[in-house]
């Protein structure tokens, strides 16, 4: 697949799209769980997990911006979104434990 002169590896595209589908399924499950357990710590934890999953999805979506912003910047941006997702989960978890 070629966009703006950049040739995507079809295997990478398939893996990224599959991961996005998995992220969507996980987010759907945890959003449904948040509705069932509203108001408690389980709802807060599921919210943190959904935020982390959405940031991971954005991290994988950044891969498709390679033709427009370059490989190096894409890798840096993807890493930043993954780190933010893990920090949200870690700091949110610490906050839940200390309450």
Per the CB < 8 A criterion, the answer to whether 57 and 23 are in contact is yes
Find all residues with CB under 8 Å of 42, minimum gap 6, and list them.
33, 34
Q: Is the pLDDT of residue 2 over 80?
A: no
pLDDT tens digits, one per residue of 66-86: 888 888 999 999 999 999 999
pLDDT exceeds 60 at position 92: yes
Residue 3 has pLDDT above 70, yes or no: no
* CB count in 10 Å sphere of residue 60: 19
Domain definitions of the chain by residue range = 7-98
Q: What is the mean pLDDT of the chain?
A: 87
pLDDT at 33: 86
The pTM of this model reads 0.83
Q: Per-residue confidence at 1, pLDDT binned at 50, 70, 90? A: low
């Amino acid at each position: 697949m070629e966009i703006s002169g950049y040739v995507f590896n079809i295997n990478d595209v398939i893996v990224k799209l599959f991961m996005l589908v998995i992220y969507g399924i996980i987010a759907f499950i945890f959003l449904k769980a948040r509705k069932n357990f509203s108001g408690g710590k389980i709802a807060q934890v599921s919210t943190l997990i959904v935020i982390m999953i959405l940031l991971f999805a954005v991290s994988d979506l950044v891969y498709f911006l390679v033709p427009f912003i370059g490989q190096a910047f894409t890798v840096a941006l993807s890493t930043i979104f993954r780190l933010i997702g893990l920090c949200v989960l870690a700091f949110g978890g610490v906050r839940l434990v200390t309450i």
